[in-house]
């Protein structure tokens, strides 16, 4: 797929690949699966310049573009998912500030994000508001030069390690009771706490958050009152396609493991790679990953170029890439046979890691609805 990339993008992709192989792989071996965000990991990613992807030119960054974020996530996810999650959450927590933040907010938060001095998170989901964002119950009420937040959030990644959370809550307005606004909530703010840490089949820093009479000064509001839904959707449009890129990275790792094992595993006097049944699996896996990568690149290039229908393209990339990667990882486990089911094997870990990508930032079913409604609107 190099023909779809500029020389600058190829150089950056190669830089991320070297970082993943030379720096990230040893860190993955050292820390393994963890609910924490190792400080050594954050420092290494900062030194590699990965967090500067989220900085505007005014703060010394390259300007936020979707394609480099996708290239980075593909290389990170296949080697160490905590690194991929950390980059993704820096993007989800920081991009709303890039979009709607004042110059003071951008300088206070985006600069430290770019240097790896501050970790961000993004809080939209609630127990009763997943795919149906408008069902959220958390609210903020204007009071005494600021806002008082009450409510809770669920399934918030890097919520324990983050120094601030970009949070979305209802701010009912006359004539618009479902109005939503975005706020920056600093860790340590009275009335805000991590209610509990959550455990997944593939561990990472995942939390439930609680706001109880949490007062925020007006300068913590992002944009204007009532702009929260627009800010959230614009943020997700960029990061959703990068979920597809992460899925491709996990799929690539699974294909590499399957290729290696198929050539070493001997049955009936021959490597199983010599059997047509195995060869068909490998061919299908490689083809699906190339198709997924093409959809991700197309969505990112169109987004960066300001072309129309980026939301539909982002949904197509996220939908196809995550579903395809799930099939690829499953086939890799099948090729490994019983070895692939052993706890701690590479493909067993990938099998658990890929599963969440079909759910977060919009389930596959939601993205099918987005795509279909876009098609029908053009009919």
Calpha distance 274→222 (Å, rounded): 59
One of 1.10.540.10, 2.102.10.10, 1.50.10.100, 3.40.50.970 is the CATH number of 2-118, namely 1.10.540.10
255 close to 347: Cβ distance less than 8 angstroms: no
Digits of tens for pLDDT over the chain (379 positions)? Answer: 788 899 999 999 999 999 999 999 999 999 999 999 999 999 999 999 999 998 888 888 888 899 999 999 999 999 999 999 999 999 999 999 999 999 999 999 999 999 999 999 999 999 999 888 989 999 999 998 899 999 999 999 999 999 999 999 999 988 888 999 999 999 999 999 999 999 999 999 999 999 999 999 999 999 999 999 999 999 998 899 999 999 999 999 999 999 999 999 999 999 999 999 999 999 999 999 999 999 999 999 999 998 766 889 999 999 999 999 999 999 999 999 999 999 989 999 999 999 999 999 999 999 999 999 999 987 6
H runs (alpha helix) in 3-122: 7-19, 25-31, 39-47, 66-77, 81-100, 103-105, 111-115
Domain 122-225 -> CATH class: mainly beta
* Paired strand residues for 166: 122, 184
- From the candidates 74, 237, 348, 361, which is the catalytic residue? 361
pLDDT at 55: 87
Active site residue 361: yes
Q: Which residues of 223-241 are buried (b: 16+ CB within 10 A; e: fewer)?
A: bebebbbebbebbbbbbbb
Calpha distance 310→319 (Å, rounded): 14
138 close to 170: Cβ distance less than 8 angstroms: yes
User: Kind of pairing, strands 192-197 and 146-157?
Assistant: unpaired
Domain definitions of the chain by residue range: 2-118, 122-225, 229-378
Architecture of domain 229-378: Up-down Bundle (1.20)
Q: In the chain, where do the E strands start and end?
A: 120-123, 139-143, 146-157, 164-170, 180-186, 192-197, 206-217, 221-222, 266-267, 270-271
303 close to 242: Cβ distance less than 8 angstroms: no
Give the phi and the psi of residue 62 in degrees, each rounded to 5.
-85, -5
Calpha distance 76→83 (Å, rounded): 6
């Amino acid at each position: 797929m190099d023909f779809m990339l500029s020389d600058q993008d190829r150089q950056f992709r190669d830089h991320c690949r070297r970082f993943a192989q030379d720096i990230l792989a040893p860190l993955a071996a050292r820390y393994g699966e963890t609910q924490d965000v190792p400080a050594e990991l954050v420092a290494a990613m900062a030194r590699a310049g990965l967090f500067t992807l989220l900085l505007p030119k005014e703060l010394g960054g390259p300007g936020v573009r979707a394609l480099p974020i996708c290239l980075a996530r593909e290389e990170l996810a296949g080697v160490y998912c905590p690194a991929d999650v950390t980059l993704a959450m820096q993007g989800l927590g920081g991009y709303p500030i890039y979009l709607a933040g004042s110059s003071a907010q951008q300088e206070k938060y985006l600069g430290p994000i770019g240097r790896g001095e501050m970790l961000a998170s993004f809080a939209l989901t609630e127990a009763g508001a997943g795919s149906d964002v408008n069902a959220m119950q958390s609210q903020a009420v204007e009071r005494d030069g600021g806002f008082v937040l009450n409510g809770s959030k669920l399934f918030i990644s890097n919520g324990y390690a983050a120094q601030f959370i970009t949070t979305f809550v209802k701010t009912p307005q006359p004539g618009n009771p479902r109005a939503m606004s975005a706020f920056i909530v600093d860790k340590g703010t009275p009335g805000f706490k991590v209610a509990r840490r959550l455990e997944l089949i593939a561990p990472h820093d995942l939390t439930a958050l609680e706001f109880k009479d949490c007062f925020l000064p007006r300068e913590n509001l992002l944009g204007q009152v009532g702009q929260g839904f627009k800010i959230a959707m614009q943020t997700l449009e960029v990061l959703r396609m990068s979920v597809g890129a992460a899925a491709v990275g996990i799929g690539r790792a699974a294909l590499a493991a399957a290729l290696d094992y198929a050539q070493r595993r001997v049955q009936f006097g021959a490597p199983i790679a010599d059997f047509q049944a195995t060869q068909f699996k490998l061919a299908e896996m490689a083809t699906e990953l190339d198709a997924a990568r093409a959809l991700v690149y197309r969505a990112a290039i169109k987004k960066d170029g300001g072309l129309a229908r980026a939301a539909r393209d982002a949904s197509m990339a996220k939908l196809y890439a995550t579903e395809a990667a799930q099939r690829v990882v499953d086939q890799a486990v099948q090729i490994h046979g019983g070895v692939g089911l052993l706890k701690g094997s590479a493909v067993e870990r990938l099998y658990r890691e890929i599963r969440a990508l079909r759910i977060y930032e919009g389930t596959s079913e939601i993205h099918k609805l987005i795509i279909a409604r876009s098609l029908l609107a053009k009919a």
